[in-house]
């Protein structure tokens, strides 16, 4: 099969399109014929090998046949003997644990759910990791309730676009922080108010919020506290900040009431089903910035690394017709 293989750490030229063997799959696994994948900041960090902790995902001191990509949508090719939730031909999406930028991927069946009929494969591939971060950050870490005033810093990014919609689905009044060029898009997905960060500092408007979901980490903790109500909480998204920021956030959470602990989203089938229900009800839709063919995965990751994607960046691996012949 064709796959993108990482051979070293660095810029996009460490990624090569190669022919490799199909992945093996166990009794509780499913083998998925990949139609689309998506990439995000974590994939870029692994490609660069910075911070060094990222190298534990791909191999130390050099990558060992690593295939990037965690988010995937495709068609079930085969199932293990004990995998009972799917059958060949089922359209699925999920978080596969790595290896999505390839024609086939295998993972435990509980990493997948059936694809919502209203989404294309490209749209579905953009959902899992970013939407899970938004859901678990706001619903679980933030305990967002109806009537809360919630500010999303970085509202136009991969996680931010989902966070705006999840906060609205939880009953919050939502303010999105983004650039002027993305303001209309952020409003279109549900934001009640939009702040252009290039002309206005959300920590100095005089407005206060019950929750701040921070995908950027470009304001100090003390500045963010100024924009919180006395009972408000700052929720730092661990996937989009440096190690120093996360350590400081954790330490402060032990002593400062308004400082929420950094969280790491955990892929699980129950929350994928919750996201699917939101999608099917029309309350959640992925925003796709750009789509690249599999051969241009290096360019896709370089684009993600610039930090200006509006929504998700998707890898089109092949057509559904090529992925599955009925």
- pLDDT tens digit sequence for 78-100: 999 999 999 999 999 999 999 99
Could you tell me if 158 and 311 are in contact, meaning their C-beta atoms sit under 8 angstroms apart?
A: yes
* Rounded-to-integer distance, Cα 131 and Cα 275, Å: 7
First to last CA, the chain: 20
Given a cut of 90, is residue 253 above it in pLDDT? no
Residue 65: helix, strand or coil by DSSP?
Answer: coil
**pTM, rounded to two decimals:** 0.93
Average pLDDT score over the chain? 91
Tokens representing residue 192 in the block: 């009640």
Given a cut of 80, is residue 263 above it in pLDDT? no
* Rounded-to-integer distance, Cα 203 and Cα 49, Å: 33
Could you tell me if 210 and 150 are in contact, meaning their C-beta atoms sit under 8 angstroms apart?
A: yes
In order of 69, 140, 177, the CA distances from 7 in angstroms are: 15, 38, 38
> pLDDT tens digits, residue range 123-135?
999 999 999 999 9
Q: Which of 81, 99, 107, 109 is nearest to 25 (CA)?
A: 107
Domains in the chain (CATH in brackets) are 2-126+287-323 (3.90.180.10), 129-253 (3.40.50.720)
Torsion (CA) 304, 241, 63, 67 in degrees, nearest 10: -50
Across 14-18, 235-239, 255-259, the highest mean pLDDT is recorded for 14-18
* Rounded-to-integer distance, Cα 155 and Cα 187, Å: 10
Residue 61: helix, strand or coil by DSSP?
Answer: coil
Q: What residues form DSSP beta bridges with 82?
A: none
N residues, the chain? 326
Could you tell me if 94 and 116 are in contact, meaning their C-beta atoms sit under 8 angstroms apart?
A: no
* Rounded-to-integer distance, Cα 134 and Cα 64, Å: 31
Given a cut of 60, is residue 245 above it in pLDDT? no
**Chain center to CA of 163:** 10
Q: Which of 93, 101, 103, 102 is nearest to 130 (CA)?
A: 93
Mean pLDDT to the nearest integer, 105-115: 97
Mean pLDDT to the nearest integer, 179-194: 98
* Rounded-to-integer distance, Cα 14 and Cα 105, Å: 21
pLDDT at 257 (0 to 100) = 53
* Rounded-to-integer distance, Cα 117 and Cα 276, Å: 10
pLDDT at 277 (0 to 100) = 98
Given a cut of 60, is residue 162 above it in pLDDT? yes
Residue 228: helix, strand or coil by DSSP?
Answer: strand
Confidence of residue 218 (pLDDT cuts 50, 70, 90): confident
């Amino acid at each position: 099969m064709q796959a993108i293989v990482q051979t070293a750490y660095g810029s996009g030229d460490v990624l090569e399109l190669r022919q490799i063997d199909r992945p093996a799959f166990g009794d509780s696994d499913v083998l998925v014929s990949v139609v689309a994948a998506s990439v995000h900041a974590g994939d870029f960090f692994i490609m660069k090998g910075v911070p060094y902790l990222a190298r534990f995902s791909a191999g130390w001191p050099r990558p060992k046949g690593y295939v990037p990509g965690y988010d995937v949508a495709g068609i079930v090719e085969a199932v293990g003997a004990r995998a009972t939730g799917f059958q060949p031909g089922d359209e699925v999406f999920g978080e596969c644990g790595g290896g999505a930028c390839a024609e086939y991927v295998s993972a435990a069946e509980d990493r997948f759910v059936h694809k919502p009929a209203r989404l294309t494969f490209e749209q579905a591939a953009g959902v899992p990791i970013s939407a899970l971060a938004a859901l678990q950050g706001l619903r679980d870490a933030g305990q967002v309730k109806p009537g809360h005033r919630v500010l999303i810093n970085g509202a136009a990014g991969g996680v931010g676009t989902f966070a705006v919609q999840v906060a609205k689905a939880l009953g919050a009044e939502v303010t999105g922080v983004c650039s002027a060029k993305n303001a209309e898009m952020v409003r279109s997905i549900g934001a009640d108010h939009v702040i252009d960060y290039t002309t206005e500092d959300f920590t100095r408007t005089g407005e206060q919020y019950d929750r701040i979901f921070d995908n950027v980490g470009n304001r100090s903790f003390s500045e963010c506290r100024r924009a919180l109500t006395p009972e408000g909480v700052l929720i730092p998204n661990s996937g989009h900040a440096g190690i120093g920021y996360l350590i400081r956030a954790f330490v402060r959470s032990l002593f400062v009431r308004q400082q929420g602990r950094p969280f790491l989203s955990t892929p699980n089938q129950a929350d994928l089903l919750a996201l699917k229900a939101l999608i099917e009800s029309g309350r959640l839709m992925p925003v796709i910035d750009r789509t690249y063919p599999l051969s241009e995965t290096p360019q896709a990751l370089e684009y993600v690394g610039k930090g200006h994607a509006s929504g998700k960046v998707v890898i089109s691996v092949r057509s559904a017709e090529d992925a599955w012949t009925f």
